[in-house]
Structure 1
Amino acid sequence: MYVRAYGKPKSIYGVFERKPGDPRTTHYCPGCGHGNVHKYIAEAIDDLGIQDRTILISPVGCSVFAYYYFDVGNVQAAHGRAPAVATAIKRARPDSIVISYQGDGDLAAIGGNEILHAANRGENITVFFINNAIYGMTGGQMAPTTLPGQVTTTTPMGRAPEREGFPLRVSELLAGLEGPTYIERVALFDNKSRMRARKAIRKAIQVQLEGRGFSLVEILSPCPTGWGMTPTQACEWIQKEMLRYFPLGVFKDLSATRPPARAAASREAMSVHRVASPEDVLALLGVEGVESVSPPSAREIEIPAPYRHPRIKVAGFGGQGVLFLGRVLAEAGMRQGYHVSWLPSYGPEMRGGTAHCHVTISTEPIASPLVSRPSVLIAMNRPSLERFEPEVIPGGLILYDSSLISTRPQRADVEMLPVPATHIADQLGNVKAANMVALGAYLGRTKILPADTVIATLEQMVESRSLLELNVKSLRAGLDYVSAR
């Protein structure tokens, strides 16, 4: 007695709630091969019982939104950097199953260096390489795998090897390295080829599961929209054109002979490198003489409740010392024993432009340095105030330079602290010190950090004696301004 059941794999969400628009359909074009590959990967994850251990890396490309669909751990990576991210995750969490899902524009172009070295090192990760011979996401431009004579938007007369070079045969290239364990090329053009792809995908994951090292499956996949064909024509084109240049088959398979000891060896190797202590971190920062302390609890510190564990965004023009202000906050917080993060963001201009940074100061480990909903906004100019004011959480604090911002913020559900930072700095002899006036005002209002700790941090960060004196004087002026209000 048996029951035949039909349905999606458990590792695929039943409804795609993360996806904009219709949550019942994917964002892929009709006839695209990504849907098939997603299904085969999810089936393998279910059958191997590794859903809770799997982490999927999805970089730039058509599959960048794979986290819409896979009910596993998901990490997005910068363009081409998925193998580097996968390496870091696998080494940090050796018991996880790490899958890098990449297209030809991502893996074979901007990411060529990363995949080459990850394979050469024999990293215990699994890579699925979708080869559709074109840049599908960005409008059908030539890819490293575009065939000779193939027409794309950037090769309207067809790819000419004497001008654009020859297509890269990635599987053959990587198979020549010592590091990889298993490399195979499969395709998606009929049922037989799809079942072969399904089998290869399972084997590649199994290789990692057994700790045998690097595996890659290259999948020739249809892109009807990018190729300007119907789904049926696209499958026929793979058979008639792509297979001539990209023959199917196993290019390397050492899974039966390579010992399954790489995972254990990796853990043993990693254990040799102990976790850095607070003293190690302080030494690397050049502040060896500072005594390390444990993170203070909210009960042990005299900080008003609304100001504890701040998530701060500091914003202004380039040249206003916005990033420096954030760094001082973060490093002073570290001296006090807090968990801290500092994430800068700035434009391409050498001078001027805009800049902002994200700072978190917490008694708990910080999951992400990104501050999308700040509890504190320090705005040094009007454009920054107008841009980030809506992001501040209700009950948060907005500190702004009233010397440059004449319009009061519109929010009624946040605390406002106008500080004439530029005017005060000008009176002290240099308007560039307005950032330290603002920092002093913030410390004076919130008591988040002792002024002496911040001054000690400045002494380590500022080499010029005259600039140090100006910064300290400006910091104290900001403190005095708030205390006098």
Structure 2
Amino acid sequence: GGQMAPTTLVGQKSTTSPWGRRPVNEGYPLHMSELLATLEAPVYVERVALCDNKNIMKARRAVRRALENQRDGLGFSFVEILSPCPTIWGKDPVEARRWVAEKLVPTFPLNVFRDRKPDTTASAAPPQRTVSDVLEISAKDEIASRQLADHSHHFRDYTIKVAGFGGQGVLLLGQLLTEMGMREGLDVSWLPSYGPEMRSGSAHCHVCLSKERIGSPLISHPDVLIAMNEISLRKFAHQVVPGGVILYNRDRLPSDFALPNARVICIPASEMADKLGSTKVTNIILMGALLEETECLSPATAMGVLETKIKKLDLLEIDRQALAAGRNFIDSHVRVGAVSQPDGFAY
């Protein structure tokens, strides 16, 4: 905390400007409200300060006005707030508020820089593109997608977290599920999270499939976890909702792992992919298992998406086999006589 900000004054010290802000090195403060007010798009731009009760009430009204503009679709609003920071400044709260009024406000004057109604007649409505246009789906595929959407009469919203190492196809699996959901007429979101490493770093993504609008792409408690390694299993398994599903990329759970209140299916996807001739299809095997176990999306939709992504016929055939292998594993090892199978397949 305490890094230099656009409003850090010349000479003011921070953790990233320990000798004080120097124009020759860090540049001058930025007057964001004035800069944005020169653009055509903003309909409302105001700078306020939290230095006394009167200005705090003005700030409250400004934020309310900006939110109302957003709600009513009037256009972009920007509210810049000069706020005290007693902890970083090393001042008590009263002194910090006084410093805002005496030091910050003279440099950043409080004002309404823009307040107008948008000129809706001057600009034509942007062209609307259908999902089919965006995904470049042919008319034949679009008809098939509508027919496939009928399978989801029993569909419920699903939140899915896919986790593993970078290079395992974690993010790609999330993208495939997202595009499948779009083709079946669902509202979808995909939120990736990964480290700076190109390979072997941790990576996971959040996928939401819903018939309603999605409020947030972030998933705290997923319905389904696809854990492609042990680290991901230990990190995320206990976030799964009670009664949810965990697909684990191994033939059995670690001996010291405490079972969560969820259904755990161990599937040796990496070994199965190796037998198919490419460990790169491990994620496709797990996708097939997911589709068969949850019936959240149609396998035919999955193949339709893969056909648009993969142009080489030999690779497409391996993916087709991988998808079928994941589905068959659920049928043969989980649904039919799962109790009699070796430990580790289903719990």
Counterpart of 2:107 in structure 1 is: 246
Alpha-carbon distance change, 427 to 242 in structure 1, aligned in 2, over 3 angstroms: closer
Which one of 22, 26, 30 corresponds to residue 168 of structure 1?
30
What is the CA–CA distance in structure 2 between the aligned matches of 1:336 and 1:184, rounded to whole Å?
A: 44
Is 429-438 or 363-372 further displaced after alignment? 363-372
**Residue 382 of structure 1: CA displacement?**
0.6
8 A Cα contact 2:62 2:79, kept in partner: no
Alignment of 1:327-476 (within 5 A): 327-403=175-251, 406-407=254-255, 410-411=258-259, 413-476=261-324
SS at 1:470 equivalent: helix
What is the CA–CA distance in structure 2 between the aligned matches of 1:339 and 1:327, rounded to whole Å?
A: 14
User: Percent same amino acid among aligned pairs?
Assistant: 44
SS at 1:330 equivalent: helix
**Residue 378 of structure 1: CA displacement?**
1.5
Alignment of 1:268-287 (within 5 A): 272-273=125-126, 276=129, 280-287=130-137
Alpha-carbon distance change, 404 to 431 in structure 1, aligned in 2, over 3 angstroms: farther
**Residue 308 of structure 1: CA displacement?**
4.2
Amino acid at match of 1:142: M
What is the CA–CA distance in structure 2 between the aligned matches of 1:345 and 1:389, rounded to whole Å?
A: 17
The runs of 5 or more residues in structure 1 that have no matched partner are 1-137
Counterpart of 1:84 in structure 2 is: none
The runs of 5 or more residues in structure 2 that have no matched partner are 334-347
Listed one character per residue, the Cα deviations across residues 176-205 of structure 1 (whole Å, up to 9, x for unaligned) are 667777777666667xxx546756875896
**Residue 452 of structure 1: CA displacement?**
2.5
Counterpart of 1:59 in structure 2 is: none
Counterpart of 2:90 in structure 1 is: 228
Alpha-carbon distance change, 247 to 308 in structure 1, aligned in 2, over 3 angstroms: closer
SS at 1:334 equivalent: helix
Alpha-carbon distance change, 456 to 211 in structure 1, aligned in 2, over 3 angstroms: closer
8 A Cα contact 1:146 1:167, kept in partner: yes
**Residue 285 of structure 1: CA displacement?**
0.5
SS at 2:275 equivalent: helix
Determine which structure has greater relative contact order: mean sequence separation of CA pairs < 8 Å that are 6+ residues apart, divided by chain length.
2
What is the CA–CA distance in structure 2 between the aligned matches of 1:175 and 1:302, rounded to whole Å?
A: 48
Alpha-carbon distance change, 347 to 201 in structure 1, aligned in 2, over 3 angstroms: closer
Alpha-carbon distance change, 395 to 270 in structure 1, aligned in 2, over 3 angstroms: farther
What is the CA–CA distance in structure 1 between the aligned matches of 2:42 and 2:210, rounded to whole Å?
A: 42
SS at 1:272 equivalent: coil
**Residue 444 of structure 1: CA displacement?**
2.7
Counterpart of 1:324 in structure 2 is: 172
8 A Cα contact 2:131 2:182, kept in partner: no
Over aligned residues, Cα RMSD in angstroms? 4.0
Alignment of 1:142-291 (within 5 A): 142-170=4-32, 173=35, 195=54, 198=57, 202=61, 221-234=83-96, 237=99, 241-242=103-104, 246=107, 248=109, 261-262=117-118, 265-266=119-120, 272-273=125-126, 276=129, 280-289=130-139, 290-291=141-142
What is the CA–CA distance in structure 1 between the aligned matches of 2:152 and 2:95, rounded to whole Å?
A: 71
What is the CA–CA distance in structure 2 between the aligned matches of 1:178 and 1:217, rounded to whole Å?
A: 16
**Residue 455 of structure 1: CA displacement?**
1.4
TM-score (norm 2): 0.75
Counterpart of 1:477 in structure 2 is: 325
SS at 2:9 equivalent: coil
SS at 1:393 equivalent: coil
What is the CA–CA distance in structure 2 between the aligned matches of 1:376 and 1:216, rounded to whole Å?
A: 39
What is the CA–CA distance in structure 1 between the aligned matches of 2:300 and 2:285, rounded to whole Å?
A: 15
TM-score (norm 1): 0.56
Counting matched residue pairs gives 328
What is the CA–CA distance in structure 2 between the aligned matches of 1:392 and 1:149, rounded to whole Å?
A: 50
8 A Cα contact 1:440 1:478, kept in partner: yes
SS at 2:193 equivalent: strand
**Residue 153 of structure 1: CA displacement?**
4.1
Listed one character per residue, the Cα deviations across residues 311-335 of structure 1 (whole Å, up to 9, x for unaligned) are 2212111111122222222322333
SS at 1:143 equivalent: coil
**Residue 470 of structure 1: CA displacement?**
0.9
What is the CA–CA distance in structure 1 between the aligned matches of 2:260 and 2:62, rounded to whole Å?
A: 59
What is the CA–CA distance in structure 2 between the aligned matches of 1:283 and 1:216, rounded to whole Å?
A: 33
What is the CA–CA distance in structure 1 between the aligned matches of 2:226 and 2:63, rounded to whole Å?
A: 50
8 A Cα contact 2:227 2:249, kept in partner: yes
What is the CA–CA distance in structure 2 between the aligned matches of 1:220 and 1:383, rounded to whole Å?
A: 43
SS at 1:361 equivalent: strand
